[in-house]
Structure 1
Amino acid sequence: MVRAGSFVAALMLAVAVAGPAQAQTRVAPDSNRVAPDSKAQVQLSFAPIVKRVAPAVVNVYAQRTLRQQGGSPMFDDPLFRRFFGDGPLGMPKDRVESSLGSGVIIDRSGLVVTNHHVIKDATEVKIALSDKREFEADVVLKDDRTDLAVLRIKEKGDYPFAEFGDSDQIEVGDLVLAIGNPFGVGQTVTQGIVSALARTQVGVSDYRFFIQTDAAINPGNSGGALVDMEGRLVGVPTAIYSRSGGSIGIGFAIPGAMVKFVAEQAKSGGGLRRPWFGATLQNVTPDMAEALGIKRPVGTLVAGMSANGPAARAGLKVGDLLVAIDGFEIDDLDGFGYRYSTRPIGGSAKLSIIRQGKPMTVEVGLVAAPETVPRDERMIRAISPFQGAVVANLSPAVAEELRVPNALEGVVVKSVETGALAGRFVQKGDVILEVNGTKIDTTKTLEKVTQSDPGSWRVAVQRGGEVVRFAVRS
């Protein structure tokens, strides 16, 4: 270890030994560098931006009530509870959990965007403005696939709001501000730059396409605002990379284009409808790139096609390489998913493709996936490998919701209750093909099959494009 004083002495000695000849080789200062020549330049500040945006950034308080498991079914009897109450007899008690995050008001009527994980399973949501006013809020729309939720403040009023910027126009190196409530300490502003764009190796949502920033983002910032130097909303912070739980300069935000898409769907009053592509895609490997005659592995390859989907109707074929959508270059499958899913339904998208080495352009109609058969959701309650699973009939709409590849008919596992028997055998997104030799074509068929006790179960499911078979004794 070298002390500071010793280092300075050594440096002076080195300069003296180098002599005049080497001293003359110093590079002249950059002539473009000038000292500030006015008070305004010395006092440059982000304060005007913060004053404009901060009133629109809110705290989101969510509460969820969890029922504790009791020791005996008698404790659920209303008559028993009337006489004994919630005493020390092992009765189940309600436990309230709270979570704190941030949100952004996006229109003057009080519409607020935040992260889905902030309000997940909430039974009560409150909004606190920067001026300390608090309001109850309703959940208008929530989507775990994008990790976004839209709330509405119940009390009517004229609220401060943030305007959307164009997240497609920001570049690496641009200055940005993150505004939120980290660790519950109160509204906080941090400054940094855009560190990277189109980050896809972040598994916090189905659409893995994030803005990376070194503006300090910590727990509690989730759902807040990432704004540009004009005070426009370009992203919603959602995750950090950290070994300690605090910021180490690697934070991720959902791009404003995705946030705006979800918010506009909420304003329309309907559910979230995404455009359906109707094809299975895969990433390009270096070996595949060489075989396709391209210099580097970019784009995404059409690997499968729905017979009457938008991709097929546009004339796309298996083996086509998709390299751009509406002028935006596609790096990989996640990049395509983000670009395509943020296009508005009703229009069209221009795809730049390479087919057998030749560049082409095709136009795909942007339509919602159809629900060709009623989903007829059912909870399987009979003792079987599916007990506690919620199943639904497959259609393009259900397949798109659950991201089920190459399956447009049959029965799919939509969810599994926590702790249910089904959790040991099947998982969300499994397509149930066959049980004890019976083809499972509808949820009604599966329910009927599970109502008997065959002694053993032979099951075939499609999982991630592969068929998995297993046997279970009753």
Structure 2
Amino acid sequence: MLPVSRTRHLRLGIAVVALALALPAFAGTLPEAVNGQALPSLAPMIARVSPAVVNISSTSHRRVAVNPFFSDPIMRQFFGMPAVPSRELVQQSLGSGVIVNAQKGYILTNNHVIAGSDDIKVTLTDGKSYTAKVIGADAVSDLAVIQIHAPGLVALPFADSSKLRVGDFVVALGDPFGLGQSATSGIISGLQRQDLRRSGVQNYIQTDASINPGNSGGALVNLDGQLVGINSMIYSPSGASAGLGFAIPSNLAADVMKQLIAHGKVERGSLGVDVQNLTARVAAALGIKASGGALITNVLPDSPAAKAGLKPGDLVTSVNGNPVTDAQDLRNAQGLAPLGSTLRLGVDRGGRQLVIDATLTAISSQASGASLDARLAGASFSDTPSGNGIEGVTITDVAPGSRAARNGLDSGDVLVGVNNVATPNLVQLRRVFSLHPRVLLLTLVRQGQMVQLQIGG
């Protein structure tokens, strides 16, 4: 066995030497060509794309209580403190962005990169920094548009993300960990990813190109240097890349961007229904034979769903011919459809298969307290702008002497929860009050402090 082993080692050594002699000697670099064939490189494309990808640093200032103990007015009175002792908390975040309009300086990024910021700085690849202003932001899609004024900007063209296929090569560009612009390559691992443990519209591109903290808002491009997605999130047990990166498709990003530039916000329609997943236990209890779908549990009065004839207990199994496997599928269908469009719903009602058309209508961003609950009469409610960092409904006005005033509500309060249910917007707030709760436990943010009010029936 020993002579055979030596022979194999000798042959291997000769082969290595021969290969080394056949290639030109480059110290620490790959050859430009092998047997007359140029080696493929992403360098020319990356050099062309890189100037369109920027670093974004944002700073926010807010006052927080020194000790939550003193949020209780009784404790403050006992210790002779008329106001809540507080200090200024400064928070900084880093992310990336993509220049999408060179002439007007529009930059597309993630909403979570700039949400709640008082100061936003954009740094280009040449090292120059500019102050940016927010044009519009949308928490539902996690997209935002900011603007800078700078000469000689380079913008990225959009690709048609509907033509992406699993296996296509892509490159992710951004500023991970604030180290400077970096590029990583990989493939499209999956399309139309949903159910990623977050709310809002979900229609993600999955890629194994490394995406790390700081890459959020950066570009996912094809080999032609066209934008196919906005890097948004990762799945990782450690917080660093584990080969599970997710990007918002360019087609969705382009649609949202147009609305943000035109209106500063995204106008979406809604069917006006609450839905849940169809579990085996629920299906058995209701006698439903289907294995999937979105089960309607509540229909809001005067909503498009109510006008179309949808009822609690209906099971939505398809939208416009596309199968609905769970509640998130129906939420996506509403969130991705243009305002005013008609959805053709396949519905299972007690075993009968129905087709129902419902037109998405705009959701009012304001409501009177009396329309929600008589105990809130005299207060006016409005959706909170997405840029202030608080997900809740703002109380814009409280009439003096009104029932709302007597129950302790103040103008400027942000209502973030009712009876331990989060109320990030008026849609969810209406849903909570549609259940007609007997006792109200309101969770409010008041002048930077969290307070709770209990209101009896």
Q: Same fold (TM over 0.5)?
A: yes
Asked if the contact 1:399/1:405 (under 8 Å) is kept, the reply is no
What secondary structure, in the 3-state scheme, does the structure 2 residue paired with 1:186 have? coil
- After superposition, what is the alpha-carbon deviation per residue over 1:360-410, rounded to whole angstroms, capped at 9, x for unaligned? 443321221135744341599999997995349x9x995326584563999
Question: Secondary structure of 1:335's partner?
Answer: helix
Aligned to 1:317: 311
Hey, what's the Cα distance between the residues in 1 that align with 2:448 and 2:263? 35
Q: Is the 8 Å Cα contact of residues 314 and 362 (structure 1) preserved in structure 2? A: yes
Deviation (angstroms), 1:59: 0.8
Task: List aligned pairs for 1:62-81, cutoff 5 A.
Answer: 62-67=58-63
**1:300 corresponds to which residue?**
294
Question: Does the 8 Å CA contact 1:281/1:300 hold for their aligned counterparts?
Answer: yes
Q: Which runs of 5+ in 1 are unaligned?
A: 13-35, 72-90, 427-431, 438-474
1:388-407 equivalences under 5 Å are 389-391=413-415, 398-400=425-427, 404-405=431-432, 407=434
Hey, what's the Cα distance between the residues in 2 that align with 1:230 and 1:325? 34
Give the aligned partner of residue 269 of structure 1.
263
**TM-score, normalisation: structure 2:** 0.68
Deviates more, 1:404-413 or 1:158-167: 404-413
User: Which of 198, 215, 239 is residue 245 of structure 1 equivalent to?
Assistant: 239
After TM superposition, the score normalised by the length of structure 1 is 0.66
- 2:136–2:145 contact (8 Å) kept in structure 1: yes
Q: Which residue of 2 aligns with 1:352?
A: 346
Tell me how far 1:260 sits from its aligned partner.
Answer: 2.6
SS in 2 for 1:254: strand
Partner of 2:376: none
Letter in 1 for 2:232: T
Q: 1:129 aligns with which of 124, 146, 162?
A: 124
SS of 1:259's equivalent in the other structure is helix
* 1:224, distance to aligned residue in structure 2 (A): 0.7
Length, aligned pairs only: 374
Counterpart in the other structure of 2:200: 206
Counterpart of 2:456 in structure 1 is 436
Give, in angstroms, the shift of residue 298 of structure 1.
Answer: 2.8
Aligned 8 A contact 2:363 2:427 in 1: yes
Partner letter of residue 265 of structure 1? Answer: Q
Equivalent-residue separation in structure 1 for 2:116 and 2:366 (angstroms): 30
Check conservation: 2:172, 2:210, Cα contact below 8 A. Answer: yes
The aligned residue for residue 135 of structure 2 is 140
Could you give the per-residue CA deviations for residues 182-241 of structure 1, whole angstroms, max 9, x where no partner exists?
111211111112223343343344334433221101111011112234433332222222
Summarize the alignment of residues 185-224 of structure 1 with structure 2, pairs less than 5 Å apart.
185-224=179-218
Residue 111 of structure 2 corresponds to: 116
Partner of 1:164: helix, strand, or coil?
Answer: coil
Aligned match of 1:254? 248
Tell me if the contact between 2:108 and 2:257 (Cα under 8 Å) persists in the aligned partners.
yes
> Is 1:232 the counterpart of 2:231 in the alignment?
no
2:236 and 2:297 map into 1 onto residues whose CA distance is 36
Cα distance change, pair 324–49 in 1 and its aligned pair in 2 (3 A): farther
Asked if residue 152 in structure 1 is aligned to residue 181 in structure 2, the reply is no
Q: One-letter code of the match for 1:104?
A: V
Corresponding position: 1:177 with 2:197:
no
Counterparts of residues 27-46 of structure 1 (less than 5 Å)? 43-46=39-42
Q: Distance in 1 between matches of 2:50 and 2:356?
A: 44
Distance in 2 separating the partners of 1:412 and 1:337 = 28
Going from structure 1 to structure 2, the CA distance change for 1:301 and 1:93 (only over 3 Å counts) comes to: closer
| Higher normalized contact order (CA 8 Å, seq sep 6+, divided by chain length) | 2
**Secondary structure of the equivalent of 2:132?**
strand
Matched to 1:56, the amino acid is: A
Structure 1 consecutive aligned stretches of length 4 or more whose deviation exceeds 6 Å: 68-71, 379-388, 408-412
